Amino acid sequence: MSLPNNQKRTFTNSKLARLSLLIGLGLILFLVESFIPRPLPWLKPGLAHVATLLAIYLMSNSAAMIVVVTRVIVGSLLLGSLFNPAFMLALAGGIAATSAMGLVYRYFSRTFSIFGISILGAVVHNLTQLSLVALLLVHRIETFYLAPFMILTSIFTGFIVAFVSYLLISRIRLTIF
């Protein structure tokens, strides 16, 4: 199928290359993070969202969504958890967090810096997963007793993710993107 000449090509080679780079980055962080032993099962820094933030800031919201969905699918394939409950939770949390961060970046990027956006994303990610666990998997309202701890640790982990992303964005922008 040939495209008409006047139609803008939305998927250029350069875009494809940059997307792949970010998916690769997200995948590596996702996998490395899953090998680090965690003191509590739900406590995870969420470093893979560095790739999401980079995609939002350096490319677009749709690119960020592609990065997250591909990262979760390929990452689960590599970890052997494709289509199990953990995969569903990762996918749902990732999509919700990316939507929240993308929308806030598009409409309120003057109000919130990357730190605010990242912390918001972390909170949305955690609460989405917690709600899904409570509503779909275990049907217990008691699951929400974890919510305060998740919200409080989200501030910390969101901050770390934002810091890493900020360092990367300020350097990458000059070279590749």
Partner 1 sequence: MQNRTNIFSLSQILKIITPGDKILIVLILALGIISLITLNHVRQPGETVTIEVNGQALYHLDLNTSQQVTVTGSIGETTIKIDHGAARVTYSDCPEKICIKTGKIHRAGQVIVCVPNRVVVTIEGKRKNQFDVITQ
| Choices 20-28, 59-67, 90-98, 115-123 (CB under 8 A): range interacting with partner 1 | 115-123
Which tokens go with 121? 């994303």
Q: Which among 25, 154, 144, 153 has a CA at the least distance from the CA of 101?
A: 154
User: Applying CB under 8 A, which part among 21-29, 43-51, 66-74, 134-142 lies near partner 1?
Assistant: 134-142
- Out of 144, 160, 172, 177, point to the residue binding partner 1 (CB under 8 A): 144
List C-alpha distances in Å: 47 to 6, 133, 161.
Answer: 41, 22, 6
36 contacts partner 1 (rule: CB under 8 A): no
What span, in angstroms and rounded, lies between the C-alpha atoms of 92 and 101?
Answer: 14
177 binds partner 1, rule: CB under 8 A: no
d(CA 61, CA 114): 14
Closer residue to partner 1 (CB): 78 or 152: 152
* Contact pick of 143, 160, 172, 177 for partner 1 (by CB under 8 A): 143
